[in-house]
Chain A
Amino acid sequence: MLTLECPYCGVKAEETELAPGYEAHLKRHGPGSTDEAFEAYMFARKNPKGVHFERWRHAYGCGKWFLAARDTATLEVFGTYPAQSSGPPAELIEKIKAKRPDWKGF
């Protein structure tokens, strides 16, 4: 029962209010892409023990999608940020690196 702060409405939402959306920052591969690229986009998912970026929707709240950086093993939440982001914010990356020196980066 995680709690994640919705970056839109500021509510510390608990897991029952949220809908999971799996891995964040996937790059869409549409018509014209190779089979390999499409397969990777469609099916290949990271499953790290450690730092992970995920999509969540505040489904029973404001309805907005947002992204979360979280440690899958310790459940530490490094931060949440709007879904309209091409990559994790720089300061969030710095924060994670400070806490997880071994992290290979996004």
Chain B
Amino acid sequence: MSTRLARGGRLIDRTKAVGFSFNGKQMRGFAGDTLAAALLANDQMLVGRSFKYHRPRGIVASGAEEPNALMNMGVGGRFEPNQRATTTEVFEGLRATSQNHWPSLEFDVGVVNNLAARFLPGGFYYKTFMYPRAAWKHVFEPIIRKSAGLGRAPKGHDSDRYEQAYAFCDILVAGGGMAGLQAALTAGQAGKRVLILEQTAHWGGRAIIDGDDAAREWIAATVQALGAMDNVRMRLRCMAAGVYDHGYVLADEKVADHTPGDGRPKHRLWRIRAERIIAATGAIERPLSFAGNDIPGVMLASAVRDYVVGFGVSPGDRTVVVTNNDDAYHTAIALVEAGLAVPCIVDARAQASGALVDRARALGIRVEQGRAIAKVRGGKRVTGVALCMQAGEGAILAEIACEAVAMSGGWSPVVHLWSHCGGKLVWDEAQGHFRPDATRPPTGHDGAGMVVCVGAANGEGLAQPEPVWIMPQGAGTALKTKMWLDYQNDVKVSDVQLAAREGYESVEHTKRYTTLGMATDQGKLSNINGLAVLAGALNSTIPQVGTTTFRPPYTPVVFGALAGESRGEIFQPMRGTPIHAWHEAHGAYFEPVGLWRRPYCFPRGGENHAQAVEREILNTRANVGLLDASTLGKIIVKGPDAGRFLDMLYTGVMSTLGVGKCRYGLMCNENGFLSDDGVVIRLSEDSWLCHTTTGGADRIHAHMEDWLQCEWWDWQVYTANVTEQYAQIAVAGPKARKVLEALGGIDVSAEAMPFMTFADGVLGGMPVRVHRISFSGELSYEIAVAAGQGRALWDRLVEAGAAFGVMPYGTEAMHIMRAEKGFVMIGDETDGTVVPQDLNLGWAISKKKADYLGKRGQERAYLARADRWKLAGFETLDGSVIPDGAYIIAEGMNGNGQRNTQGRVTSTYYSPTLKKGIAMGLIVGGLDRMGDQVEFNTVAGGTVRARVVDPVFYDKEGVQQNV
């Protein structure tokens, strides 16, 4: 059994005991323990179930590469799934539970998958669930969703907060081992701005475990020296997650994971811009592929060393060491020095010699050369190993009883940060690993390499392994189906070989077919062994097969850290008009329009939304309504060439517009398609104000600036987006004039202010600009006032309008009233493929102008075809409302067995004014089809019959607005 040793543990503080629980069971650890170390100290070898076969799994590693010990951590608002026990620090009150099992860790029903493993080979998802097709939706998918996945996603709100910070430096050092500390020291002494990050809670990396006293003294002195430098910043528990273009680095600092609830942010996400990045990210030991290498108690040799030396934890009384290189001898020596037994070092190499081998022998450790593990004995924990010849097929030579197996398949440099942004790798045959190719680095803004790998990350100082990819080399199928390459995704040697036989020659395809190295592994543990097995199966070489792409993040970053403070009400900016508070106080139901919140309607009493909209429309048509139109885009265009510029921008002529007059205009893109519309007014000889749609203000302003700066830069024109400088209120309805007259001031009589004119003046004591324009079809004034006075004007209008039955109306009433009048709406009648001619708006296009944006595009023969879908009105025969998005069906079927179409609805409403459904839509032939009967499909599957009519349903003569 695994247990705490009486002495030792360089990373723990034995004077500080810590209580925690695992699956409800109370356990004790020490400050400085990782959860994995503390679990092993409590003989908790079994920590989870595997993904696919639900096999019992134990702790394999001691760091970020751990594939098995993924835990549910915390409860309630602090619940987090998939947290690695090997990188989680224990604290008083920590609560962890294992995942991916049912009903319990010890007795898991899903383990039947293990018995059926030969029916679940690599790619089984793709093969098994193909037929019958209907079964996918009703049988396969629900079962897969229930049984797959690792931890469960948290459901409630996260109780913690997260923050983000920016940092800039000359040199970013990722990794606080000896190589990283040395690099930071050198750069710091040279006066560079240095930021050094270490993902664990202590400086020194592997040297804390593997180094001698002198090394540990050097680490302490260097950390102290760096801490004293003003130009060096140091961060522990901070993982460099990804390297991006031009030296941009994301790093995740686990500020309070180990001190939950202390008021600090749980994580801090650093957005770092570094001139140069030094990756001192070390190396990760590789497993060996032998049968039963996933049984709890089989661990990486370096991890065993970490637990014994770093945490004073024994993985078992007897540990068999199996290796293809010298490094694992360190583990054997460390175990014996800790007073534990190493029954045998199983060395796959035919010849093993050197100082470490001699030292192990001198300690009396039995070394078996040219041997391999034929299979590991045990179920939920190791009970022994069977030995065989590495060169053979697995005939058992001897059995050795043991509680743990320490394996080493050599070391792979951590090249993730090098590779994220395009750094290339070279296969080092002698070292048996991929290492950075210094001649092909990821490049920065100056074209020079921006990442440098140092120390073990560059392949320096690592033990040379002999290539051993399968153990024994001649293993048959029975053994290969028990050799795990990827513990987390349950990928075995046999799966990769099967993929190769089925034609998956590309390593990227094999990865996806077998799921090798997917999810959180990202090539840390499984990559090289998998590549080697694939290369072997393809009779190819590892460099020829190549490696899969390393993608950020290096280890998972929680969504909370990525979101930072952008949650809840401040998830994104919210724009409100100067009158917003009134709307809120009067029960407005808001709808988002871009970042704006606009009142959709103002329900009264027990009204539902439809009833409120109906009342608002009927009141506007009978009395008077108020609309907050402040969100309308307002752009001033001014200068000697402003008229010429607007003539290019709009399809109509704006340069001839008289001062004090209003004109409706259309804007198109160069392709000829309608992009925005609105009323343009001429303020003075050299200045115009362009109204845009609410959503179009910023876009159209940018569009204007694009053409002015990049094409007609010699034209003298200024633009200014003054959308938020003014509040704008529409007063619409037969009694609108009376309301304005009650306020007193500017003459708004029909004679003084005819339709499509405006005037500056005073209203109710406030300086205003009154436009006589109408989007509702009623007598209507749109009053612009300085934003700061918007609320005051609104209040005065509500007050003065009371005697005339004034009511505010929202965007839905506005939409319906414009549809009753047949006015088009950008985004409803247009979708980026509609030219103004399609909407019968040819009258707004100048025939005289030589050029405007979109004119050449509209001249294309395709856009003049007779079968273009054009605007018309529609009324159902039964008075019902045509469903949103309905198509007008035509004779026959298309190639997919669907009905042919001849048009579609673009706006469809119940008209309270006309007491029936009305619609606009696009149909082949447009207004030439008037009187035809057509069929719209419905969501329910049937059709609804409608008649093609004039799109102006209400007051075609304009009697209402011209009074």
A residues near B (Cβ < 8 Å) are 1-3, 14-15, 19, 21, 28-33, 35, 38, 42, 55, 57, 59, 63-65, 71, 74-77, 83-84, 99
Contact = CB atoms under 8 A, between A and B. Distances in A.
Q: Shortest 6 CB-CB distances between A and B: which pairs? A: A76-B447, A1-B248, A84-B713, A74-B443, A65-B709, A83-B710
A42 B702 contact: no
B202 interface: no
A17 B702 CA distance: 14
B836 to A, nearest CB: 16
B855 A76 contact: no
B847 interface: no
29 contacts: A1-B244, A2-B245, A3-B246, A14-B246, A14-B248, A21-B706, A29-B856, A30-B851, A31-B851, A35-B860, A38-B857, A38-B860, A42-B670, A55-B710, A57-B705, A57-B706, A59-B702, A63-B705, A64-B709, A65-B709, A71-B447, A74-B443, A75-B245, A76-B443, A77-B446, A83-B710, A84-B709, A84-B710, A99-B447
Contact of B855 (A14, A21, A31, A74): A31
Contacts of B671: 42
B443 A75 contact: yes
Interface in B838-896: 850-851, 855-857, 859-860
Given A30-B851, A31-B851, A31-B856, 9 more contacts: A1-B245, A63-B705, A64-B709, A74-B447, A76-B447, A77-B446, A83-B713, A84-B710, A84-B713
A45 to B, nearest CB: 14
A31 B853 CA distance: 10
B445 A3 contact: yes
B751 interface: no
A14 B856 contact: no
Nearest to B421: A75
Contacts of B670: 28, 42
A11 B466 CA distance: 54
A77 B247 CA distance: 13
Contacts of B711: 28
A64 to B, nearest CB: 7
B54 interface: no
Contacts of A2: 245-246, 445
A6 B876 CA distance: 57
B169 to A, nearest CB: 14
Contacts of B446: 76-77
Contacts of A77: 445-446
B856 A33 contact: yes
A100 to B, nearest CB: 10
B246 A38 contact: no
B636 to A, nearest CB: 15
A14 B445 contact: no
B711 to A, nearest CB: 6
Contact of A65 (B444, B710, B856, B860): B710
Contact of B856 (A30, A74, A76): A30
Contacts of A74: 443, 447
Given A31-B855, A31-B859, A75 B705 contact: no
A65 B447 contact: no
A31 B706 CA distance: 20
Contacts of A38: 856-857, 860
A6 B856 CA distance: 33
A1 B855 contact: no
Contacts of A71: 447
Contacts of A3: 246, 273, 445
A81 B244 CA distance: 25
B156 to A, nearest CB: 31
Contacts of B850: 31
B119 to A, nearest CB: 46
A42 B859 CA distance: 14
Contacts of A29: 856
Nearest to A84: B713
A14 B273 contact: yes
Given A42-B670, A83-B709, A30 B855 contact: yes
Given A2-B245, A74-B447, A42 B857 contact: yes
Nearest to B443: A74
Nearest to B855: A31
Contacts of A35: 860
Contacts of A30: 851, 855-856
Contacts of A15: 245
B258 to A, nearest CB: 31
A33 B851 CA distance: 12
B713 A75 contact: no
A97 to B, nearest CB: 14
Contacts of B705: 57, 63, 65
Nearest to A64: B709
Nearest to B246: A3
Nearest to B850: A31
A55 B671 CA distance: 19
A21 B444 CA distance: 22
Interface in B611-657: none
A7 B932 CA distance: 61
A5 B710 CA distance: 18
A29 B713 CA distance: 17
Most chain A beta-carbon neighbours within 10 Å: one of B443, B446, B856: B856
Contacts of B709: 64-65, 83-84
Contacts of A63: 705
A77 B856 CA distance: 35
B651 to A, nearest CB: 13
A28 B851 CA distance: 12
Contacts of A28: 670, 711
Contacts of A76: 443-447
Contacts of A31: 850-851, 855-856, 859
Nearest to B713: A84
Nearest to B444: A75
Nearest to A71: B447
A51 to B, nearest CB: 12
Contacts of B248: 1, 14
B719 to A, nearest CB: 10
A59 B698 CA distance: 11
Contacts of B443: 74-76
A86 to B, nearest CB: 10
B696 to A, nearest CB: 16
B702 to A, nearest CB: 7
B509 to A, nearest CB: 24
